[in-house]
Amino acid sequence: MAKPLPISPLASPLPPLGVVRGVRLGAIAAGIRYKGRTDLVLAEFDEGASVAGVFTKSKCPGAPVDWSRESLRNGVARALVVNAGNANVFTGRAGIETCRLTAEAEAGLAGCDAHEVFLASTGVIGEVLPAERITSALPDLRAALSEDGWEAAARGIMTTDTFPKASVRQVEVGGVAVTIQGIAKGSGMIAPDMATMLSFIATDAALPSAVLQTLLSEGVGRSFNAITVDSDTSTSDMVLLFGTGKAGNAPVTSAADPALSAFREALDAVLLDLALMVVRDGEGATKQIRVAVKGAVSDASARVVAMAIANSPLVKTAIAGEDANWGRVVMAVGKCGEPADRDRLSVAMGGVTIASEGAVAAGYDETPVVAHMKGQDIEIDVDLGLGDGVATVWTCDLTHGYIDINGSYRS
């Protein structure tokens, strides 16, 4: 077994985690790929739980993505089974059969329909996932489930992650206290388009699946779909949001209801926390980078420009080398095919304007920018000067550590 990876220098500590009423979860070592660590996670939800989901847009999705996407049609969830180490992707009929057998085994234990069981897998692509590794471990795993199993679950879904990722918020809906708590995994193959990225969030708020779906879809656009580590979109990306209804708040039938204002903000905060932890655990990362673009012809155009900067190997390696090479930012803006005008463009790093109106800014002093580049949190701001479009995305630097990890991923 490969040695554990060193913990990212950008690692975020686990917050104090509580319980979400109506959720029990845990993890077990099922020997799916790893030795000496947990790799199978189970969560069960009280009867009546609603669910929302956002999935990868990859044209080569894993069998668990297809299963969970189909299950989402019913809007009801009783269980979630997640394994790490094997993505169950590109495994043909065997992958589909593993999903069926896993869901039916858990459904039999939980006393529910198989399509009330959601499935997710992460790990190596193209290797058959033996169903019996999972189904034989489920009874013992289920017997040990606990309301306090969140940290164990966060650790059980890790692959090349170097630290577990979780976030929690307490808020009120109609004067009733509710909890939102979630976990995520992801480190490489991160450029979500809904990376290998999974996230599972639960709340005890009583909200129908349609309301949860609207809130989740909008929130993912501002969080998980606004990060990139290496520009590669996984076959297994999935974000699921479960609502148990145990808080007992008054019924809410629309995501636009003012009673959900604080809930929406809290959910967005949890999603962004988890997304940024994925960036901060980017394979080989030593710096987190925030790219903000304004002045584009539209928000969509601004996003393309921001992602071009965030995904540029030249930009990312310059930042790894603590080099304030703003010319690489200009290059990335110019190559992406979106409207831009060299003579209206301005670039700033660390809040210091470097280039403006087609040239180096008058009186530019590199000293504060050099100091900024030595920090762990880097800020790049671009103003295209063309319109009102804005976008913010996050990424990390590109170091030799990324090659070391991915060059030996399967060994």
Catalytic residue ranges = 196
Q: Which tokens belong to 48?
A: 């009546």
Q: Would you give the end-to-end CA distance of the chain in angstroms?
A: 8
With beta carbons less than 8 A apart as the criterion, state whether 208 and 249 touch: no
How many other C-beta atoms can be found within 10 angstroms of the C-beta atom of residue 145? Answer: 18
With beta carbons less than 8 A apart as the criterion, state whether 229 and 288 touch: no
With beta carbons less than 8 A apart as the criterion, state whether 160 and 5 touch: yes
In angstroms, what is the C-alpha Rg of the chain? 22
How many other C-beta atoms can be found within 10 angstroms of the C-beta atom of residue 36? Answer: 8
Pairing relation of β-strands 50-55 and 79-86?
unpaired
Q: In the chain, what is the greatest distance between 2 CA atoms, to the nearest angstrom?
A: 72
The set of residues, in sequence order, having a beta carbon less than 8 Å from that of 283 and lying 6+ positions away, is: 160, 187, 188, 229, 230, 401, 402, 405, 406
Q: Which residues of 96-108 are buried (b: 16+ CB within 10 A; e: fewer)?
A: eebbebbbebbbe
With beta carbons less than 8 A apart as the criterion, state whether 52 and 212 touch: yes
> Known binding site for substrate: residues?
159, 185, 196, 283, 406, 411
> Tokens 């959900």 belong to which residue?
260
d(CA 96, CA 273): 33
Kindly give the residue spans of alpha helices, DSSP state H, lying in 136-179.
138-143, 150-156
> Known binding site: residues?
159, 185, 196, 283, 406, 411
> Tokens 């790990």 belong to which residue?
123
Residue 81's closest CA among 34, 137, 18? 137
With beta carbons less than 8 A apart as the criterion, state whether 8 and 281 touch: yes
Helix (H, G, I), strand (E, B) or coil at 371: helix
Show the CA angle centred on residue 345, arms to residues 353 and 383, nearest 5°. 70
How many other C-beta atoms can be found within 10 angstroms of the C-beta atom of residue 257? Answer: 17
Q: What single letter denotes the amino acid at residue 169?
A: R
